[in-house]
Structure 1
Amino acid sequence: MAPLISEDPHIFDTANNMGSYRVLRAQVNGLGYFPNERLMPYLEQAGFGSTALIRTFDLRYDLISALVERWRPETHTFHFPCGECTVTLEDVALQLGLPIDGSPVTGVSAIADPFALCHSLLGVSPDDDEENLSGLKFTWLKARFEHLSANATEVDLMCAARAYIMHIIGGVLMPDAKNSRVHIMYLPLLADLSNARSYSWGFTVLAVLYRELCRTTKPATVDLGECLILLQS
């Protein structure tokens, strides 16, 4: 039978031999602004109403790095002297308010005409020179959608709600450790806001967090992404 414990290099095995303690780096792109009250009904409709109220806090990267040393990829649990524990779907549901049942979050990662998609669902597209737009910058989302016109139409409000959800997804729930953008592949899932809540966003957040923890157990890894506010809390 194959051994339960993998023989792949693990930071726990090398920590004592390192010249200095490894503290992981991370990039959390907090929203930097509160959602306009007129957006809340649409955020609630999409299943992100509670998540929109989350405020980022100071992360303890030394604490998070210590947690990573105790993570076992074979069981997806933290191994402590007192026993095992892990982040669960219940934690995701209670702390982030995301749906944990429903369809998997999946789709096409390469959008045929991303600029047309942005015009259709956001009402505007970035002025990027890229031939193939793959992500939306957080700075652009904030500058374009933070302030709403007093006479904004329902279509305008729905576009702003989609933009806010995109910022939540890429900046708080599933941020890339080295990126300042959110991938455009999530935008088509927000076309129908009432249908967006039918996806298991909470399950996806937990799955990618597990995957990231497994990746960062490798001794050479220096960056950490995904939902670190959930991990720390």
Structure 2
Amino acid sequence: MAGTRLGLSIDGNVVTGVSLISRPATICYELLGCSPSEGKFTSLRFSWLKANFEHLPSTANEWEVMQAARAYIMHLIGGVLMPDANGSMVHLMYLPLLSNLHNTCLYSWGFAVLAMLYRELCQATDPSAMDIGGCPILLQSLALYQMPFLASISHQSYIFPLVNR
């Protein structure tokens, strides 16, 4: 339910990916048109995405627009919806899910974000935890709509029902 407040579907195909992609450079060339490296890597740095996709030329064809859209969506996934611990990279496992942009709406992105948020909240119960990862907007939405007592502001003075004067 909270996923729908962000416009993220909670119905549909499960968002999963192969955590180890055997030929990451090939996937990047096929879907983004370029690759940060020829070797093995599992994530894309936001600085690399920005350097390669920040400006779309006015002469861009449909394929180049789709490549830039994939890069932008990867940045949204890693920067807003499912950020990593240091907030500067996005896992490559999400890129194959963007191969057909028309089918991305068939995935349950909201459920994936909720699952990651749940994992982050569980890890935050560790007394040595310094912060919470995941999607803070979703956490705020969840608190506001599912636990309104956390966000309510009352302009009436509180009456203690067990105290009689």
TM-score normalised to the size of structure 1?
Answer: 0.58
Q: Structure 1 residue runs of 4+, over 2 Å off?
A: none
Alignment of 1:79-98 (within 5 A): 90-94=1-5, 96-98=6-8
Greater percentage in strand = 1
- What's the offset of the Cα at 1:179? 4.2
Q: Is 1:164–2:72 an aligned residue pair?
A: yes
CA distance in structure 1 between the partners assigned to 2:65 and 2:9 by the alignment: 23
Residue 53 of structure 2 aligns with an amino acid whose one-letter code is F
Aligned match for 2:85, one of 152, 177, 180: 177
- Separation in 2 of the partners of 1:139 and 1:99? 28
Structure 1 residue 230: deviation in Å? 2.0
Structure with higher RCO (Cα < 8 A, 6+ apart): 1
What runs of 5+ residues in structure 2 fail to find an aligned partner?
A: 142-165
Aligned to 1:102: 12
Displacement of 1:106 = 1.1
Counterpart in 2 of 1:112? 22
Residue 195 of structure 1 aligns to which amino acid in structure 2?
Answer: N
Within 1, Cα distance between the matches of 2:139 and 2:9? 18
How far apart are residue 214 of structure 1 and its match? 0.9
Q: Distance in 2 between matches of 1:120 and 1:144?
A: 15
1:121 aligns with 2:31: yes
Q: Is the CA contact 1:105–1:199 (under 8 Å) kept in the aligned structure 2?
A: yes
Following the alignment from structure 2 to structure 1, what is the Cα–Cα distance between the partners of residues 49 and 116?
Answer: 23
SS in 2 for 1:182: strand
Q: Quote the Cα distance in structure 2 between the aligned partners of 1:148 and 1:110.
A: 30
Q: Percent identity of the aligned residues?
A: 60
Question: How big is the shift at 1:177?
Answer: 2.3
Question: What per-residue deviation string (whole Å, max 9, x for no partner) do you get for residues 210-229 of structure 1?
Answer: 11101101101123211012
* Partner of residue 98 from structure 2, selected from 179, 190, 193: 190
Report what 2:128 is aligned to.
220
Structure 2 distance, partners of 1:187, 1:200, is: 15
Amino acid at match of 2:33: G
Q: Counterpart of 1:92 in structure 2: which amino acid? A: G
Higher helix share: 2
Aligned mates of 1:177, 1:110 — CA distance in 2 = 18
The aligned counterpart of 2:150 is none
The 8 Å contact of residues 78 and 87 in structure 2, kept in 1 or not, is answered as no
Q: How many residues align?
A: 141
**Alignment check: 8 A CA contact 1:99 1:202 kept:** yes
Moved more, 223-232 or 193-202: 223-232
* AA at the equivalent of 2:32: L
